[in-house]
Amino acid sequence: MSIVPAPIAQLPWKLMLLITAIATFGIVVLYSAASGSMTPWAFNQLIRFVIFSVMALVLSRFPVSLFATWSLPAYGAILIALVLVELIGGVAGGSQRWINLGFMQLQPSEFMKPVIVLAVARFYSRLPVSEIRRWNAIWPALVLIGLPWSLVILQPDLGTATMIAAGGVTVMFLAGLPLRLFIGAGLIGGAAIPIAFSFLHDYQQKRVLIFLNPESDPLGAGYHISQSKIAIGSGGLWGKGFLQGTQSHLDYLPEGHTDFVFATMAEEWGMVGGISLIFAFLMLFRWGIRVSIRAQDRFSRLVAAGLTTTIFFYVAINLMMVMGLAPVVGIPLPFMSYGGSSMLTVMLCIGIIMAIDRDRRKSSRSNWE
Amino acid sequence: MKFPKLTPKHVTEASLSFTFTRRAMVLGAFQGGIGALLAGRMAWISVAENEKYVLASESNRVNLTLVPPRRGWIIDRHGKPLAKNRTDFRVDIIPDRLKNKEAVIDTLARLLALEPEDVERIREDLDKAAGFQPVQVSDKLSYDQFAAVSVRLPDLPGVAPAQGFSRDYPAGPTVGHLLGYVGVASAKDYEERRDPLLITPGFKIGKDGLERAFENQLTGKPGAKRVEVTARGKIVRELTTRPDTPGKTIRLSIDAGLQDYAGRRLGTQSGSVVVMDCQTGDLLAMASMPSFDPNSFSDGISHLEWDMLSQDDHVPLRNKTLQGLYPPGSTVKPMAALSFLEAGLSPHDTVHCGGAIRVGNGLFHCWKRGGHGAVDMRRGIAQSCDIYFYVIAQRLGMQVIADMARRLGLGQKFPLPYPSQSYGTVPDAAWKLKKYGKDWQIYDTVNATIGQGYMLVNPTQMAVMAARIASGKMLMPTLLFDPKRPAPATLGVAQDHLDVIHEAMRDVVNGGGTGGAARLPIPDILMAGKTGTAQVRRITMAERRGGVRGNASLPFKLRDHALFQGFAPYDNPRYAIATIIEHGGHINRIEDAPMISSDVISYLYDPVKAMERLEKYEAGWGGSPEARLKTQMAAFRVSKGLAEAPPPADNASNASNAATGNITANSDTPPDDAAGGAANGTGDVAE
C-alpha cells in the first residue's frame, strides 16, 4: 500500500487524465476560437467541465443496481418530456426541441441518448436467457427504441434520432440476438433509403444532397462543409499555429466553436493535432469496451458497451460531418464543442461506466489496470 | 408467440456471455476501424489535398482589390491641362453584399442629404445591377460626409466608401466635343473585354471623343491592394499595396486658351469654329457649341439632363466640327477661282453681271438683284458675284472645280482620332451617275460653283481648304503635338495664282467686300477670307415674285447657315479659320460668322482685348456657356414640373452609357438640314 489513501488511489486516474487532456485541449481551442480570449467560451467550458467531472465521480460511487432500478422509470419520464416538447415546446431553429423551464432550456432528447441504452439493457438483463432467440426478445426492444425515435424524428432532429436508434440497436446486437436479423435489417434498410429520403423535410433533404456534392453550392447550403474542409485541409501536417487560424478568426468557418470545433482545431494544430485527438478518443472507447468485457453481470456489460458506443457515435458522426463524409446533422464533438447539454450527457455516460468499473473491481478485488 | 426461425440454437448463460464478449470485440474493432478511417480522411484532406485547400483558404482570406490607375492627362500645345484628375471621396453600394436595402438607403440618404430623385436613381440602378458591379451612391463628397459614412460601416453592409480620382475638365462645355468624356464601363463593355478593372469601383473608360480614341494610352496600369477580410467583407488589415502606373499624357496641338475662347465666342449660336496652323497643319481649336459639360457626363448624367440635351434644336450632342455637314455656299468661290486660274483663265477676264442669267430653262439670279456690272475675278470674289462664277464655270466645266475642291481637302477623309466623322461630298459627273444614275446637267455645275446643290463639307474640311489656299501646301490637319513632323509637300499651284486669290480674299474683308465684319481689330494685320450663306430651304415661286423673306421672320430651322473661311495675316499666312453658324441667317452681326472669326483670330494676337470684348458680349448672353447650361437646365426642370433646386452633380452611370449609344447613332446620319440642302437642286442664289 502506498501513502496515498485507498479511496483516492482507487480513482480511475488514467481515465481522468485522458478525459482532462481532451477537455483541456478543447478549452485551448475555444480560447483560440474567441481570438485569444477566455470569454465567452473557454471559461464557461472550463467551469462546466469541472462541475460535470465532479458529477461523474459522484455517479461512479453509486451501485450499478441503482441505475438498473431507475433505468425504466427514467426512460418513462423522458418519454413524457418528449411528448411535452411536442405539445408545448417552443420553436427553435425550425424544429421543436426545447422546453423552457424558466431558469433553463431543457432538451429531453439529449438525455434519451444514454437512457435508451440503460432501458434496453435493463430489458435484456431481465429477459430469461432461453428467450433471447425468440420473438419476445425483439419486439419490446423495438418498441422501447421506436417510441422516442419517432418523437425525436417528429421534432424533427435527424441526428439525435439516429443516435437514439443506433444506441438501442447496439445494445440489441450485444445482447446476442441472431446476427442474420441485423444483416437482413441492414439490407432492407439500404433498400428503403430512397423511400425514407422522400419523407425527410426539405432542409434535411437539402443537407443530404449537399453532403453528396458540397461544391455544388459553395456559398449556399454547402458552405458549412466547404469551409470546414478548407479549414482542415489548409492546416496541413503541423497546422497554422496556435491563434493563427484564418478560417475561424475571420468568420469563414461557421459554428467554429460548436459543431465545427474540430475544423477550428485542425486548422491550427494540423493533422498531428487531429490524429492525436482521434487517438485519444479511441483510447476512451477502448477503456469503455474493456470495462464492459470485464463486467460481471449482463446489465453492466450491455450498459458499459452501449454507453461507450453512444460516445463513439457522437465522435464518429461529428468527425464524419466536418470532414465531408456525412451530412450536416448537428451532433457536437464531446469535450471539444462548446455547450452544456452534450457535455452533461457524455459525463453521465462516463460516470455510469466508471460506476460499473468500480463495482467490478470491488467484487473481483482485482486491480484492473 | 413463437418465431420459428429463432428457435433452433440452445442458448445458455455461458454461451451468451461468450457471444457478448465476441460481439463487444467486434464493436471495438468497428470503432477502431472508423477511427482509422477518420484518421485516413484527415490525412488525405490535410496532406494530400493540402495545396488545394491552402489556396482556397488564402483566396478566402485575402481580397485582391485593383486600384484604378490614374488616367493620363490631356494637355494642350503649351502644356496646359485640358483634362486632368481630381481627388474625390465617393460612396458605392456593392449589391451582392447588401443586406437590408431599405434601411441602408435610408441611412445614406440622411447622412449624405440625398435628393429624392437620387434615391430613386439608386434604387433603379440597384434593381438593374449585376451583383458585383458597384452602384454609385454619390461622389464629390465632402470629407465630413465621407467620414460620417465610414464610421457607420459596421451597420451598413454592402456600402463601400472609397477615395479616388475623377476626371476634371477645367474648361467645361467648350472642350466637350473635342475631348469627349469618360464613364463607368457598361455591362456590354465588360462582356467584350472581361477585364476585372472595368468593374472596379471608380474606374472609368473613355466614352467618346479623344478620351475614347486614346483609351489605351490614357489608361495606365492598375495598382493592387491585398487586404485581409472577414467573411462579412470587413477589412482586417492591408497586406501589400502595389501603386498604380498612371496613363500616358497626351499632348494635343490644341491651344487651350484659343479653344475655350472660340467655344465661348460662339455665344448662343449653334455652330463651330476650327482654327488651323498654316505652317504645320496643327489644329489649334475645334469648338462645337452648344455642348454638354463633360464634367457632368463623366459623373454620370441624369435622365433629365440627357433629355434636355437631346431635345435641344441646337444639337449639343453632335460634334459639328466633324459630324456637321453643310453646303459651303460662297466660301468655295476662292477655291473655284483658283481652279479657273489653274485652268488658264486670266484673272482680268470680265463677265457682265446683269442680276440674272438663263441656264437651260431656269433663271439663275445673282444675290444682288441689280447686278454688279462688269466683274473680273478679284471683284467676283470680293463682291461674291454669283453670275461671274455661273458663266466661267459653264465655260470650264465641273471637273476642273471638283478636282481643285478635292485637292484643297473638300470631301476628303482625314485620319483624325474620332470614331465617327462625316466627310461630305464633292460632286462631279461620275459621282452623280454612280449615286443617282443620272447624267450631270449644266445647272448642277452652276449650283456647285456657288457651294450649293450636292456639295457638302464639314467645318474641319473648310478650315483645311482655307489653310491650303493660304499656304499653297498640302497641309494635313492633325491633333497631336509633334514638332518633328516632316514639312508638308507643296500643292503645286502657281504662287502668282495664289497671290490673286489672297488679294481678292483680303478685299472681301478689307476692301469693301461682303466680309467687312471680319476685319481684325489689330493694327497692321489683315484678315483674308470669304463669307458664305447656305440655304436650307426651297424658295417658292411666290417668294421669287414677292421677294425672298427675311431670315429673321423664319423659324430657326429654316434660316440660312452662315459661313466664313479665311486666314491671317493675308500677306504671310499664319492661321486659317473656318466658322459655320447653323441657321444663323446673318441676323445678328455680333454672333455672325465673320465677326466671330475676327475675334477668334484676334485672340491669337491680343488675348487681353479679345477677352474684354467677349466678357462684354457674355454679359448680354447670360454668362459663360457653363452658366447658361445651368440656367437652361433649371428652366427645363421647371417646364417638366419639377422642383427648381439644382441637382447635385452625381448621377446615373447608365444614362451616360445611353449617351454613347445615341451619339454614335446620331453621327452616322448626316444632319437633316444639310441633306435637305443637298437635295435642293434648284437654281436659287446664295448671297
Closest CA of chain B from A92, distance in Å: 23
Q: Which residue of B has its CA nearest to A270?
A: B46
Return the amino acid letter for A148: P
At B648, is the pLDDT very low, low, confident or very high (cuts 50, 70, 90)?
very low
Q: Is residue A1 part of a domain?
A: no
ipTM, two decimals, is: 0.91
Residue A221 has pLDDT above 70, yes or no: no
Query: Is A323 part of any domain?
Result: yes
Q: How far is CA B598 from CA A158, B265, B532, B568, in A?
A: 91, 10, 15, 9
pLDDT at A72 over 50: yes
Q: pTM higher than 0.80 for the full model?
A: no
What is the pLDDT, as a whole number, of residue B539?
62
Nearest CA distance, B22 vs chain A (angstrom): 9
Number of folded domains that form chain A = 1
Asked if residue A184 belongs to a domain, the reply is yes
- pLDDT for residue B484 is more than 90: no
Q: Are B144 and B259 in contact (CB under 8 A)?
A: no
The nearest CA of chain B is from the CA of A324 a distance in Å of 9
pLDDT grade, residue A100 (50/70/90)? Answer: low
| Residue B465 one-letter amino acid | M
Would residue A130 count as lying in a domain?
yes
B428-439 pLDDT, tens per residue? 999 999 999 999
pLDDT(B620) > 80: yes
Largest CA distance in chain A: 65
How do residues A158-199 score in pLDDT, each as one tens digit?
Answer: 888 999 999 999 999 999 888 888 999 889 988 888 888 787
How far apart CA B629 and CA B309 sit, in angstroms, is: 10
pLDDT above 90 (res B649)? no
Task: Examine the residue annotation and report whether B330 is marked as an active-site residue of this protein.
Answer: yes
Q: What is the pLDDT of residue B672?
A: 36
How far apart are the C-alpha atoms of B246 and B249, rounded to whole Å? 9
Beta-carbon contacts of residue B106 (< 8 Å; ≥ 6 apart): none
Copy the grid coordinates of residue A358: 468500480
Range of the structural domain that residue A316 is part of: 6-368
> Does residue A117 lie in a domain region?
yes
| Residue B214 DSSP label | T
**Domain contains A153:** yes
| Residue whose C-alpha is closest to residue B441's, from B674, B683, B684, B687 | B683
A70 inside domain: yes
Q: Look at residue A218 and give its three-state secondary structure.
A: coil
pLDDT at residue B543 in the model: 60
Predicted local confidence at residue B104, as pLDDT? 85
- Rounded-to-integer distance, Cα B309 and Cα A98, Å: 67
**Total Cβ atoms within 10 A of residue A350:** 29
Q: How confident is the model at residue A201 (pLDDT cuts 50, 70, 90)?
A: confident
Cis peptide bond upstream of A108, omega within 30? no
pLDDT at A105 over 70: no
Q: Which residues in B lie closer than 8 A to residue A251 (C-beta atoms)?
A: 230-232
Question: Checking phi first, is residue A94 left (phi over 0); if not, alpha (psi -120 to 50) or beta?
Answer: left
Cβ neighbours of A227 in B, within 8 Å: 60
Q: How does DSSP classify residue B408?
A: T
Query: Which pLDDT does position B548 carry in this prediction?
Result: 60
pLDDT at B407: 92
Residues of B in contact with A334 (CB under 8 A): none
Task: Say if residue A66 is exposed, middle or buried (CB neighbours under 10 Å; 0-12, 13-18, 19+).
Answer: exposed
Radius of gyration, alpha carbons of chain A: 21
> What pLDDT score was predicted for residue B131?
60
Average pLDDT, chain A: 86
Partner-chain residue, chosen from B28, B42, B52, that has the shortest CB–CB distance to A275: B42
pLDDT at A369: 41
Task: Give the pLDDT of residue A97.
Answer: 62
Share of chain B above pLDDT 90, in %: 38
What rounded mean pLDDT belongs to chain B? 83
pLDDT digits (tens, 9 = 90+) for B316-347: 888 999 999 999 999 999 999 999 999 999 99
Contact B23 A289 (CB under 8 A): no
A23-51 confidence digits (pLDDT tens): 999 999 999 999 889 988 999 999 999 99
Q: Is residue A159 part of a domain?
A: yes
- Catalytic residue chosen out of the listed positions B270, B288, B330, B598: B330
Max mean pLDDT range (A203-212, B197-206, B485-494, B540-549): B485-494
Element containing residue A311 per DSSP (H, E): helix A298-322
Q: What is the pLDDT of residue B2?
A: 44
Q: Which of residues 23-62 of B touch A (CB under 8 A)?
A: 23-25, 27-28, 31-32, 34-35, 38-39, 41-43, 45-47, 49-50, 52-54, 56-58, 60-61
Which residues of chain A lie closer than 8 angstroms to B34, CB-CB?
312, 316
